[in-house]
Structure 1
Amino acid sequence: MKILVENAGMLTNFEVLDFLKSRGAAKDPTRVLAPLAPSEFKVYDSLAKSVAASQTRESINEFVDKCKPYKLTKNEIVNIINIRPPSEAEIFPLIENIEERIGSGEELVELVTQVFPVEEQETKSGKRVEGIEELVEERNVEAAVE
């Protein structure tokens, strides 16, 4: 694979994960056979646990098409795809002047949760929790116990 244009644009986490998979990161549990650096395996491991692992090229294209009425910048769209914010409070920092440009971010949050449904997330302790509120609450309890 050759790089034709350097810094041609931002990549979504899904695209980076897909690229690392294409280079053999997912097929090499020993971390010896694939032509990847240790840092690339660390990136792969991190992205495989993120929201990027549950995204598809089709869902990303659908989201980009449905965002056209909001006139978001490419960077804003990429940030939303990478973070998949489940609430207005989390989408506000991602979009510059959101109240002036879009008004309430509620419609955009609904679009995000429609195209990229929130799945169960696994915490460090191995327990499954749904949604960000439960995850935050569990982390606060773990911190209080320590």
Structure 2
Amino acid sequence: MKILVENAGMLTNFEVLDFLKSRGAAKDPTRVLAPLAPLEFKVYDNLVKSVAASQTRESINEFMDKCKPYKLTKNEIVNIINIRPPSEAEIFPLIENIEERIGSGEELVELVTQVFPVEEQETKSGEQVQGIEESVELVEGLNEVALE
């Protein structure tokens, strides 16, 4: 990968992650062989845990194409791609004057959830919460039996 124009615009987290992978961040578990600075490895570690890890170039291009009717700025689109807001409440701060320009952000949230896959981590955390809730119910049931 060659940089043609410096500071040409914002990058999505996916593009940064892809760049770090191309420099060897994913291939070097010892972190000795890849020509990356320690800070770059920290950025890589954080991006692997973010929504960028589950995105693809195709899904980003598809989202950008489907966003054209909304007339969003490039910065707004990049922020939506990086954050992948799952609700209207989280999309409102990302788009200036959203009510005047788009109306309800519900359509845009549906587009985001349709185009971008649900993170594996979100599914795991949801399963963990459900498991914790089941454990709490079991303990409460045992406490009631013990009190009787």
Shift of 1:5: 1.2
Distance (whole Å) between structure 1 residues aligned to residue 47 and residue 76 of structure 2: 19
For the residues of structure 2 that align with 1:136 and 1:80, how far apart are their CA atoms?
Answer: 41
CA shift, 1:6, in A, is: 1.2
Which entry has the higher C-alpha Rg, 1 or 2?
2
* Structure 1 residue 119, shift from structure 2 partner: 2.5
CA 130–75 in structure 1, closer or farther in 2 if over 3 Å, else same: farther
Which gives a bigger RCO, structure 1 or 2 (Cα 8 Å, sep 6+)? 2
Q: 1:122 to 1:62 in 2, by over 3 A?
A: closer
Partner SS, residue 66 of structure 2: helix
- Report Cα offsets for 1:103-136 as digits up to 9, x if no partner: 0000000000000132242699997459999999
Query: Quick one: distance in 2 between partners of 1:79 and 1:57?
Result: 16
State the percentage of identical aligned residues: 92
- CA displacement 1:49-71 (0-9 Å, x = unmatched): 00000000000000000000000
- Residues 32-88 of structure 1: per-residue CA shift (max 9 Å, x gap): 000000000000000000000000000000000000000000000000000000000
> How many Å separate the matches in 1 of 2:29 and 2:12?
24
Aligned length: 145
Distance 1:123-1:62 versus aligned 2 partners, 3 A rule: closer
CA distance in 1, matches of 2:125, 2:20: 27
Counterpart residue number, 1:63? 63
CA gap 1:3/1:96 in 2 versus in 1, 3 angstroms: same
How does the TM-score come out when normalised to structure 1? Answer: 0.83
RMSD: 6.7
